[in-house]
Amino acid sequence: MTTSDSPLTPERILAAAEDVLRRYGPGKATVVDVAQALGVSHGSVYRHFATKAALRDAVLRDWLQRAVATPLAVAAASRAAPPKRLRNWLTTLRDAKRSKVLDDPELFATYGALAADAREVIDDHVEALLQQLQHILADGIASGDFRNGDTRMLALALFDATSRFHHPAMAYLWKGKGEDAAFKAVLDALLRGLRK
């Protein structure tokens, strides 16, 4: 076991845990494996994350933030007109999930397995995404681009209506012919429905 001169931080532990999960998969990766990768005792890891479940939740939360929520926050905060911003946001959501599945299916499967045991993390993630959607919708209502309505219900409807293109359970369809055209057709229909 080699020790590092760098201080042990939650960020270092999360990076090592992600690497260990990638190598061994969620069924075989242990806190001891993470500690060995860092050159520290497993007790040192537990000082930052009280349980294996807490570490796994933190890895999943970190990945969702980096891979999905941060790019979506940029799309939500853009200065584009609300219809364009909404289209960009939904496209960014789809592309973020799709690229993870198609570019690194093993890692995506690992995160899918973590998500199955982390309902609270997933609920928090979805809630943050819905709030971004609500913000875009509220701006569109205020600008007159979208008809008036309950932004919470509209956000849920948009999220659900596009889930075919971003929910991991539907990933098996994402390589199919006509995916781009189907996604565009759904977005066009949704945006038409929101107009005043």
Domain of 87? Answer: 52-194
Whether 5 shows a pLDDT value over 80: the answer reads: no
**Do residues 32 and 80 touch, judged by C-beta distance below 8 A?**
no
> d(Cα 27, Cα 36) in Å, to the nearest integer?
17
Q: Is residue 35 part of a domain?
A: yes
- Total number of domains constituting the chain: 2
- The answer on 69 and 148 residing in a single domain is yes
- The answer on 14 and 66 residing in a single domain is no
pLDDT digits (tens, 9 = 90+) for 60-86: 999 899 989 999 999 999 999 999 999
pLDDT digits (tens, 9 = 90+) for 30-67: 999 999 999 999 999 999 999 999 999 999 999 899 98
Query: What pLDDT does residue 196 have?
Result: 78
Indicate the pTM of the whole model: 0.87
Q: Is residue 2 part of a domain?
A: no
- The answer on 87 and 15 residing in a single domain is no
Angle at CA of residue 51, ends 49 and 56, nearest 5°: 75
**Do residues 68 and 94 touch, judged by C-beta distance below 8 A?**
no
Identity of the amino acid at 137: L
Q: Is residue 156 part of a domain?
A: yes
Q: Is residue 187 part of a domain?
A: yes
> d(Cα 132, Cα 26) in Å, to the nearest integer?
30
CATH number, residue 130: 1.10.357.10
